[in-house]
Amino acid sequence: MSAAPPTPQTPTPRQPTVTEAEARRVAEAAREQNWHKPSFAKELFLGRFRLDLIHPHPTPTPEATTRGEDFLARLRTFCESDVDSARIEREARIPDETVRGLKELGALGMKIDTKYGGLGLTQVYYNKALALAGSASPAIGALLSAHQSIGVPQPLKLFGTDEQKERFLPRCARTDISAFLLTEPDVGSDPARLATRAVPDGDDYVLDGVKLWTTNGVVADLLVVMARVPASEGHKGGITAFVVEADSEGVTVENRNAFMGLRGLENGVTRFHQVRVPAANRIGPEGAGLRIALTTLNTGRLSLPAMCAGAGKWCLKIAREWSAVREQWGRPVAYHEAVGAKISFIAATSFALEAVVDLASQMADEDRNDIRIEAALAKLYGSEMACLMADELVQIRGGRGFETADSLRARGERGVPAEQMLRDLRINRIFEGSTEIMHLLIAREAVDAHLSVAGDLIDPDKSLSDKARAGANAGVFYAKWLPRLVAGPGQLPRSYTEFHPPGHLDLSAHLRYVERCARKLARSTFYAMSRWQGRMETKQGFLGRIVDIGAELFAMSAACVRAEWLRAEGDHGREAYQLADAFCRQARLRVEELFGRLWANTDDLDRRVVKQVLSGAYEWLEEGVVDPSTEGAWIADATPGPSQRENVRRPFC
């Protein structure tokens, strides 16, 4: 007997109901509209392989290197002696004394300027520190990253007033932990439906609403809160950012959430009821909240792939050590081809992922390029590849990979937390923009040049005169652009020969491949836009593959540039060339598969199956099982009002 279909939930009166077009307009208004600086990734999607934008590899200044290496040495000592990762996993919390030690090190202020009491590290060394701390305990990496990458310090650094910086940054650098509150129970990546309100009242705003998945929110002292200001006389209104004291009257942490991984994560549900926030705590003007959030994430997203790169290094270390001692059929398992292929993938991908993160971070520090696409690609690629590496490590370890570190230790073996690593990494495909949302975000930026010149042609709301002007502009643009996609340096055998130095493998062939694929990628995008026009935005499968191809090409470029940089520096150059060559050969197979799936796929069939699933046509297939889920709403009620629950906020002592 099949279960009755679920009763549809209607939005509560508090929940703004918006159309798809309205949601799109909100998202479009929030994104940065102009390109004032060059972008390697943007050019790549347009079919132009601008190697000059990333080669020679940018390098940190001697002062930045000295400062960064000094802190990394102190952080390493602390992580090795004062971080008990097994205890954090077992107790599902970071001990107060560990957090005190991080504060004494200055780890809360790694990215904060020295004049505010911070360490003033570059993006490169900040990311290296997160990779190191995250390898000791992913929960500590998440704590530090959420505090500095998206919490109070970063938006204030970019958009805060001098007075706000003087008030809050010294606290964030030394004592106070911050959190970023955007998501709501029924609002994820669709901010147009944001329901938390900030109503102007004299010199204050009064906040009401509920925020979900508030990383650091359970222990935070300061909060960045996104709330909707209603338009009124003297108030433009719109989604706006505020700094809120976490101990303000009316702020209640109603629940500390628990997850499959990151068990030490202090993530919860926070309710605001009639919380008064001074207007002086507003970050930027009214209505600028989403733009502030997206701009903050341009570099803030780099922290996540940095920790993924650290995870890849750890996976390689364990795979190497284990596979050398574990014997089957008379030899170490590493020398059996099925296992060896996995180790090769982990090694090559670890090299490439570090190359992507370091390159994007150096570009952020130099500030010569617009890296919004590069940072998004790094987040997307890092989160996906790290999960694959951890999964392969579990497979290499076999039953021991599935067994917990505590269980291994209890029976006398080395406590290797491989299964924990896999669980901890899984959230990265969702954190700070899910893979699916990242595909759409990057795709929107990748086709920006096309929409700038031809967008009005496919916009049903535009007049005939607008379409005529767009047609003329598009004709000029494409008359110059399309012929350049026919041929390029990738077809010339002598191109990029500096990447084939004597005595080393030939990486120039891989760069020629990237150049050819960039032009093919641009041609494919143009053909798809011509074919589907206004329906292009609904072709999410196609757009996702376009972005994935671009991510692979970016990673190949970064790997080759890093290998040549290390060779020139005399730092494991030969080995770096070997790893870059292996990665590029593996990536080329993935790229060819993705190109094939652009036009040969099951996208249309999948859409038909989904309609049948949702209509209940396949409910008979669900028979023969029981559902252990508890009763309850799919989405918790978040109606504004006073909290009816105990405040479980627990600031560190």
User: Residue 204 carries which DSSP code?
Assistant: E
Phi, psi of 238 (to 5 degrees): 105, 175
Contact 112, 172 (CB under 8 A): yes
Q: Report the C-alpha gap between 513 and 523 in whole angstroms.
A: 15
* 3-state percent helix, strand, coil for the chain, nearest multiple of 5: 60, 10, 30
Give Cα 167 to chain centroid, integer Å. 29
Among the listed residues 286, 392, 419, 432, the single catalytic one is 432
- Residues making up the chain, counted from first to last: 653
Buried/exposed 95-120: b ≥16 CB within 10 Å, e otherwise: beebbebbbebbbbbbbbeeebbbbb
* H runs (alpha helix) in 55-122: 62-82, 85-91, 96-105
* Residue labelled with tokens 């918790």: 636
Give the tokens for residue 109. Answer: 């202020």
**SS3 at position 145:** helix
Distances (CA, A) of 530 to 289, 472, 482, 564: 35, 16, 13, 39
> What is the per-residue DSSP string for 342-387?
HHHHHHHHHHHHHHHHHHHHHHHHHT-S--HHHHHHHHHHHHHHHH
Q: Report the C-alpha gap between 135 and 363 in whole angstroms.
A: 24
**SS3 at position 224:** strand
Phi, psi of 275 (to 5 degrees): -85, 120
The yes-or-no answer on residue 432 being catalytic is yes
Q: What angle is formed at CA 324 by the lines to CA 321 and CA 328, rounded to 5 degrees?
A: 130
Contact 171, 160 (CB under 8 A): no
Nearest partner of 319 among 418, 414, 412, judged by Cα = 418
* H runs (alpha helix) in 398-493: 399-402, 405-410, 418-426, 435-446, 448-454, 464-481
Direct distance between the N- and C-terminal alpha carbons of the chain, in angstroms, rounded to an integer: 55
Helix H or strand E segment including 21:
helix 20-30
Distances (CA, A) of 467 to 284, 441, 458, 481: 36, 26, 8, 20
* Residue labelled with tokens 């997850």: 259
Phi, psi of 276 (to 5 degrees): -90, 125
Phi, psi of 80 (to 5 degrees): -75, -30
Dihedral sign of CA atoms 410, 412, 416, 418 in order: negative
Contact 645, 265 (CB under 8 A): no
Contact 579, 585 (CB under 8 A): no
> Active-site residue numbers?
432
